[in-house]
Amino acid sequence: MVESRCGLICGECEYRKEPYNCGGCVTTNGNPFYGVCKVATCCQEKGFGHCGHCSVMPCETLHFYSYLDKEHRDKPPGARIEVLKKWLKEGN
């Protein structure tokens, strides 16, 4: 099931809980708890359900969030990109 535009598994995210109560980018139309998400906005503007459908995946922005962002990078690095590949393979 697609939970996000970028491949993040929202159900496992620490920001789903108090005090943030993030609804995720899909349910908030690209505006999770911190404001407008560049990745979600780009994906929605291109008409994709998630970034795995994009021919430039992983783009520079998605790569940064997945591997390089010191505070919020994936654990393990690249996890969300692998999730996107899995969703695409499953036909999502």
Give the number of domains in the chain: 1
Task: Kindly report, residue by residue over 37-89, the tens digit of the pLDDT.
Answer: 999 999 999 999 999 999 999 999 999 999 999 888 999 999 999 999 999 99
> Does any domain span residue 64?
yes
Q: Closest Cα to residue 39, out of 76, 72, 75?
A: 72
Residue 51 CB neighbour total at 10 angstroms: 27
What is the DSSP secondary-structure string of the chain?
----SSS--GGG-GGGSTTT---HHHHTTS--TTS--HHHHHHHHTT-SSGGGSTT-S-HHHHIIIII-TTT--SSTTHHHHHHHHHHHTT-
> Does any domain span residue 33?
yes
> Does any domain span residue 79?
yes
pTM: 0.89
> Does any domain span residue 3?
no
> Does any domain span residue 48?
yes
- The whole domain housing 17 covers 10-89
